[in-house]
Amino acid sequence: MTSPLPVMEHFYTLQGEGFYQGRAAYFIRLGGCDVGCVWCDVKDSWDADKHPLFEVRSLTAEVKRTPAEIVVITGGEPLMHNLDELTTELREAGLQTNIETSGSSTLSGSWDWICLSPKKFKEPLPEVIAVASELKIIIFNKSDFSWAEKYAALVPATCKLFLQPEWSKAAQMTPLIVEYIKAHPQWELSLQIHKYINVP
């Protein structure tokens, strides 16, 4: 017997951010978040009770209706839920399991790719920092560059490093990010390209 999960939305699209930017991926956005970022663009996700419950098996079946090879579990904060059953099912169905997380809740699930996007409002746990495949820092103001370096020093040496402008500040922050990356070439630029090409 598997436990159902609250799902805000699920859809097949292109990953718009980070290492898998531009790749086709099936997104499952779970409800529930206790991080409270002031600039959050999915505040509707915060209350898990507002979202319908889906059995893990029916979610996997939805993904398998598409030719998707990669599934991205996002939120909300997806690690507020135990994701062992979901990721086991997805992997048994031959799917790649990626997660986008703030790392602020206990790690569960079996992951092919962990995108850690830490937030100042509830900092990540060491157990998640230690297994990050990708570190994605949202740049909202100038002080976020030094905050980014704090986490770059903690993630594994193989971890990919991305700086991404916060959407409402993109006009001011993107030129600063470009200059920062030129001076610190271990970082790469991540843009929310799905917002430019108008896909979810």
Specify whether the CB–CB gap between 85 and 58 falls below 8 A. no
Question: Contacting ligand SF4 (CB under 6 A), which of 76, 78, 103, 165?
Answer: 76
CB of 126 to ligand SF4, least distance (A): 18
- For ligand SF4, the binding residues in 136-195 under the rule CB under 6 A are none
Name the strand (E) or helix (H) holding 182. helix 170-183
User: Is 37 near ligand SF4 (CB under 6 A)?
Assistant: yes
User: Is 42 near ligand SF4 (CB under 6 A)?
Assistant: yes
Q: Is 26 helix (H, G, I), strand (E, B) or coil?
A: strand
Question: Contacting ligand SF4 (CB under 6 A), which of 17, 77, 89, 134?
Answer: 77
Q: Which stretch binds ligand SF4 (CB under 6 A): 2-10, 34-42, 140-148, 166-174?
A: 34-42
- DSSP-derived pairing of the beta strands 113-116 and 96-101: parallel
CB of 36 to ligand SF4, least distance (A): 5
Specify whether the CB–CB gap between 29 and 51 falls below 8 A. no
User: Is 134 near ligand SF4 (CB under 6 A)?
Assistant: no
Q: Which of 85, 133, 81, 88 is nearest to 107 (CA)?
A: 81
Q: How many CB atoms lie within 10 A of CB 166?
A: 17
- Give me Rg for the CA atoms of the chain: 16
Question: Contacting ligand SF4 (CB under 6 A), which of 6, 18, 31, 75?
Answer: 75
Question: Contacting ligand SF4 (CB under 6 A), which of 17, 26, 31, 45?
Answer: 45
Question: Contacting ligand SF4 (CB under 6 A), which of 3, 11, 22, 36?
Answer: 36
User: Is 114 near ligand SF4 (CB under 6 A)?
Assistant: no
Residues that bind ligand SF4 (CB under 6 A): 33, 35-37, 40, 42, 45, 75-77, 102, 119
